[in-house]
Structure 1
Amino acid sequence: MRRDYPVPAGFLERETDVKKSRFIAWVAPVSSRDDVRCWLERARQAHPDARHVCWAYQIGRPGSAAEAAMNDDGEPSGTAGKPILNVIQHKDMGDVLVIVIRYFGGIKLGAGGLVRAYAGAAERVLSAVDRVIQQARVTARVRLPFADEQRLRHWCEVHGAEIGAVTYGSQVSAEVSLPVDRQPDFSAFCEAQKLDYSFET
């Protein structure tokens, strides 16, 4: 089960200039690697002439993220992605991607200057973005006859639950992610339908 935690409310862009180099910082909410890829493609399409598109993200609860990654995109190792990720980790925010797009201005900043510029760009956009609370969710595993699958899907649609992995054998096995406050309703539904279910702890 995941506790509630803050995530970006939406996309935001902020720009800073450091010694004639432009640093354009984007922040966006992400919940998967596919989301990250989509945002990176969007950044490169929007800024095809940029020298560097550096980024970092973390998915999951701050302090115990399920996944995190970073990329320097041609800048000296450790001068772009790592400073961006460090700022993200100090902001107590999950499910967040920060991309910093750099247009080189002709003046070299040096390793320390780059670290300060990328961290500063990330800090500026993360401080400005609104936050919303990611609602705590729980994962249930349920086994059911084929005839009941549509009924389960309908319940999920109505109650804000999402069906994840589904496997078909002698019965249907499904993972269901649902808001914690819907857990008693889901239990009641499964028991009424005589379905075999359990919640991940």
Structure 2
Amino acid sequence: MLKILTNHRIFFSLFFLWFIILACLQIAFTPTEMMFWVNEHNNPILDTAFGLITLLGEDGIWLVPLLVYLYQYFKQRKDVKNKAIMLIIIWITKGIISIALKNLFNLPRPMEVYELSGRFIHVIKGLEIHHWQSFPSGHTFTAFAFACFFMLVARNNALGFLWLGLAMLVGYSRVYLFQHFPRDVFTGSILGVAVVLGVVLFSKGKKWEVAF
């Protein structure tokens, strides 16, 4: 595990910075203050951009290209099967944990909390706003999990900045679109990386172990 953290220090250093910043913000400001600060800083360009970026948190958006990438790039290598198995296990584990936590806590989403507050809420026209199962953010969970896995598979430390940057934007988009609280995004990002590292550790000694 130490080798993985060292070889991909850019990704994990930036993730640690993300962790510290979000933790400090949640200590310094209330959820209401953070939600409406983000919500008030909107414009049509950001509406379009984050409406598209948030799609990167959809399972199909990541799973399909990753499977294609694995097949095309590693089809001549013996470890392609193991990487595919690991990806599937990550995907299933992520889904089970996300659904379990959402149903266990069943916390209200921002719109459910603030809809009758009398405050103006900026929402994108035509966007379906959910009201419950806020914790954790499934889109952020997915984005960070697949970004972390993709970074490991690509074995390109320089790309760590790109993968993590995209995942961070997905997390921010969930708050911008008034779908999740910062705490949901914060937890989702931690869970996403933790699941990948957990599966990597679990694979040690297994027939489908992958050396990253």
Bigger share in helix: 2
Larger radius of gyration: 1
Higher RCO (CA-CA < 8 Å; seq separation 6+): 2
Shorter-chain TM-score range:
under 0.3
TM-score by length of 2: 0.24
